[in-house]
Amino acid sequence: MSKKFHVYVISDSLGETGEMMARAAAEQFGGNEYEIKRYPFISNEEQIMEIVEEASAHRSIVLITTVLVNLRDKLREECSRYNIPMVDLLIPVMDVFSNFLGLEPAGEPGLVHRLDERYFKKVEAVEFAVKYDDGKDPRGVKKADLVLVGISRTSKTPLSMYLAHKNIKVANIPLVPEVPVPEELFEVPANRIIGLTTSPYKLNEIRLERLKALGLDSQASYADMGRILEELEYSEKLMKKLGCPVIDVSSRAVEETANIIVEIMKKNMLI
């Protein structure tokens, strides 16, 4: 039986071209199970580091469609660091155009979607997710279509970005026992809040990998099982108080969890 592989499609725009090419190529190798993960609107090096770090935990290939030189260089650097094969889908084509026309490319992402109304809505949703990520501004919870709550490393940010691609404005709030949640959260209807939880063992594994990637001591309280159980107990109590639906993300890919959320929102007539 063949071993499953993952294809990470990273783009500074929608990433649709990359996903289509990834699927077309993967299907030529029948009998090999694969999963495609698309990350649109990537705009900074920190996002790239997190995505490539995640890819390093799997048998992965990275495909990129970005016209921004600094992001392309960072992707090459990170993929090389983790020994992950990377394919730049745009550069060979742009080089041919550049040589033929005698011009340099504009280096501006998303031009093909500039006049697309849906594209603008996606951009607005992505900007919203970035602005109100990780509880940066609690006022966002009252403006959001959806609020995600959960302790650290329960996929709040990846889910926010993925749902933004579906034109859903998401704010997310980290749950920490020592830090009170913003009062605004209790003013949001329960059907517009989703709680995220996970297995303590899975969380321990993820947090240990995170500490290792950051070069920090694996004995730090962040990955301590006692601390993890304390955080999960606190989050469970708070979610019960909020009366919101709760999704266990332990064995689910971001896409699967996002689809569950979309179905909940449709059922509640929020989209």
250 is in an annotated binding site: no
Residues 144, 249: Cα–Cα separation, whole Å: 22
154 is in an annotated binding site: yes
Write the CA distances from 246 to 13, 90, 198, 230, 253, integer angstroms.
Answer: 31, 40, 10, 18, 16
150 is in an annotated binding site: yes
Q: Which two tokens stand for residue 213?
A: 């990637």
From the list 214, 262, 254, 205, the residue with the least C-alpha distance to 8 is 254
Q: How many Cα atoms occupy the beta-carbon half-sphere of 250 within 13 Å?
A: 11
122 is in an annotated binding site: no
252 is in an annotated binding site: no
15 is in an annotated binding site: no
Sign of the torsion formed by the C-alpha atoms of 192, 140, 51 and 233: negative
From the list 196, 190, 187, the residue with the least C-alpha distance to 236 is 196
140 is in an annotated binding site: no
Which residues have CB under 8 Å from 170's CB, separation 6+?
125, 128, 129, 132, 144, 145, 146, 147, 148, 159, 160, 163, 164
257 is in an annotated binding site: no
The binding site consists of 150-157
The binding site for ADP consists of 150-157
